Amino acid sequence: MAGHDVGGGARYAIYFVPKAHSDLYRCGSAIIGYDCYAGTAVDFPDALTCDALDWRKLTNEPRRYGFHATLKAPFPLRAPHTEAELIEALHKFARRRDPVCIAKPAVRLLDGFIAIVPSEPAPALDALAASCTISFDPYRAPMSAQERDRRMAVGLSMRQIENLDRWGYPYVLSDFRFHMTLTGKVEAPWRETALALLTSCVPQMGGDRSSPVDRLALVKQDSPQAFFKVVCQAVLGGG
């Protein structure tokens, strides 16, 4: 997941957000309860009704970010760059990359939270994320000491610390894993229950079908308490 908000001001990120009317997007946005295209709430699926779980609380964190896969983690914009420059850079970057496919999406438990991930190795997705991490880093303002301390407090490997100091985020390059988050941390006693609900619900909503990663989204969070919203999308290959 992208992590908590620290400091003030706007932040941007480069995401993969599926097409608004695709089964995958409608599935994911309903599960987390938020549409990051419209910036509006979405009703949870009836299939997620469970006396043992507070689904709104369970999805508080991913709801803030919208249903997505992170390709360049949230960052404040480095001066004197502008949003318009970032939009132009995104379109230029996308024209030079080819679409990729999420083959056989699957629901998995990752470090205590639940996400949709490719069920098979996806080197093309890893390469796309690495390119985004590197190519858009000149637009990232330096990380604050407060943010670094918060990241360090969770316990990072030496390589992740190096990533944090170089790229502003620990889980990049060889530590990256493509995932589309569906919940926040699930307490251990309830993980099997939540996983079973989602493993049943996602296929019912068509979220388990192979899906093209054919676009990149620039998303923006106006303030630390705001929800991320899509600013623009750029089609991979310029189609």
Looking at the domain assignment, is residue 183 inside a domain? yes
Looking at the domain assignment, is residue 189 inside a domain? yes
Which residues make beta-bridge pairs with 15? Answer: 70, 217
Please state, for a pLDDT cut of 70, what percent of the chain lies above it: 96
pLDDT tens for 129-172 read: 999 999 999 999 999 899 999 999 988 999 999 999 999 999 99
Looking at the domain assignment, is residue 6 inside a domain? no
| Residue 59: CATH number of its domain | 3.90.1140.10
DSSP 8-class letter at 77:
B
Looking at the domain assignment, is residue 1 inside a domain? no
Looking at the domain assignment, is residue 5 inside a domain? no
**Mean pLDDT for all residues in the chain:** 93
Find the mean pLDDT for residues 82-99. 97
CA-to-CA separations, 196 to 201, 205, 211, in angstroms, rounded: 9, 15, 22
Q: Is the pLDDT of residue 8 over 90?
A: no
| Number of domains composing the chain | 1
DSSP 8-class letter at 229:
E
The whole-angstrom separation of Cα 113 and Cα 130 is: 23
* C-alpha count within 13 angstroms, C-beta hemisphere, residue 189: 2
Q: Is the pLDDT of residue 202 over 90?
A: yes
Residues of the domain holding 191: 11-234
